[in-house]
Amino acid sequence: MATRRTSRRASSRVSRRLRSNARPIKIDEEIVDVTMRGITNALREIARLDKKRKPGDPGVVKPNELIFYLPWQLHDVAGKDKRIAIALFALPLRDKRFRDLRGLQTSKAWVDRIMPGLLGSDEESAVLLFERFSDDAKGPRSWASISGPKNLAEIRATLEHEIVHATDVAEPVTRADLSGSEASLRRYYNDWFELRAHMSDTLNDIRSAFAEKLRSTLGKGTPLPRAVGEALDFSLGKSETWRRMDRYLTPRSRNLILKGLVTALEDEGIITVE
C-alpha cells in the first residue's frame, strides 16, 4: 500500500479511514501480573540477602543462575491453547551473550539446544528474560537497583512485548540480527512479527496521555479527525517505543501502526465515532 510522505508529524499521516484490520494483539494480563509478582518477590529477596553480605563474601546469585521460572498455558490469537515457560536469568555484566537484550521469545528447539533440560516436554516455547548484575552493592546494576521500581517497570514492559510474540501465530520474516546496524534495525522494526508487538507497546505507552489530550481538544470544539491527529501527535511524543523506532519505519509500516492504534483506541471506547 503506497502512502505519500508529506511530514514527520503523526497528525499528517493519519488515514481518514479510522478502522483497520491491523491492530495490537491483546494479551492475557493475568500472566503478566502473576509473573511480575513472582519476579518482584524473587528480586527483593535477593536484594535483602545482598544487603547483608559482608565484604569478601561470595555473591548471593551465581552467574547464569535461574532466579524465576513459571510454566503457563495461554491462548494464541487463533484461539488455540499453547504451553509456554517464562524464565528469568541473572547474567554478569561482563557476559556479552545476547548483547543488550532484555528478553526474547523463542522456540523449544532453540532452548533445548542452548539450555538443555530447562523446558518440560509439553512446553512449546519460552519467554527468556535477562538481568545483568554487578556485585557492587551501590552500583547501577546492584540488586538494590535491579529490584527497584524503575527497573521492575522495564522488566514488565519487556515481558509484555515477549508475551505478545508468544500469543501471535506469525513467524519472523527476517532472521534475528543483533548487530545494531542501521540496516538491521530497519529490517527489525518493519518485520510484521515485530511490528505487531511494537504496536502493542506503543498503545500501552500512549493510552492515558491520548485519552486526556483528546478530551481536552474535543472540549475546545475541534472536529474529531483533527482532534485524533493532535492527540496522537501529543501522546506519541511521550512514547519511548515510538521515539525509538519511528526513524526506521517505512511509510507503509508507519501507516499500519497509526491506523492500528486508532482502531484499538476506538475499540476500547476512548475514541467514539458516531
- 264 in the Ramachandran plot: left (φ > 0), alpha (ψ -120 to 50) or beta? alpha
pLDDT of residue 2: 30
Q: Please give the distance of CA 229 from its chain centroid, rounded to a whole number.
A: 24
Q: Where are the domains of the chain?
A: 10-25+179-267, 29-167
Q: Which amino acid makes up residue 201?
A: D
pLDDT tens-digit profile of 234-269?
999 999 999 999 999 999 999 999 999 999 999 999
**Which has the closest alpha carbon to 82: 171, 204, 166, 21?**
166
What span, in angstroms and rounded, lies between the C-alpha atoms of 196 and 22? 8
Contact 91, 135 (CB under 8 A): no
Rounded to whole angstroms, how far apart are CA atoms 233 and 219?
Answer: 17
Q: Which residues of the chain have pLDDT under 50?
A: 1-19
pLDDT of residue 29: 92
Look up the pTM and report it: 0.83
User: Which of these, 215, 105, 117, 247, lies nearest to 163 by C-alpha position?
Assistant: 105
Identify the pLDDT of residue 13: 41
Q: What is the pLDDT of residue 181?
A: 82
Copy the grid coordinates of residue 38. 513472582
Q: Write out the DSSP string of 3-41.
A: -----SSGGGG--S----S--PPP--HHHHHHHHHHHHH
pLDDT tens-digit series, residues 75-115: 998 889 999 999 999 988 777 666 667 899 999 999 999 89
Cα 30 to Cα 27, 124, 163, 212, 214, distances in angstroms: 9, 20, 11, 26, 29
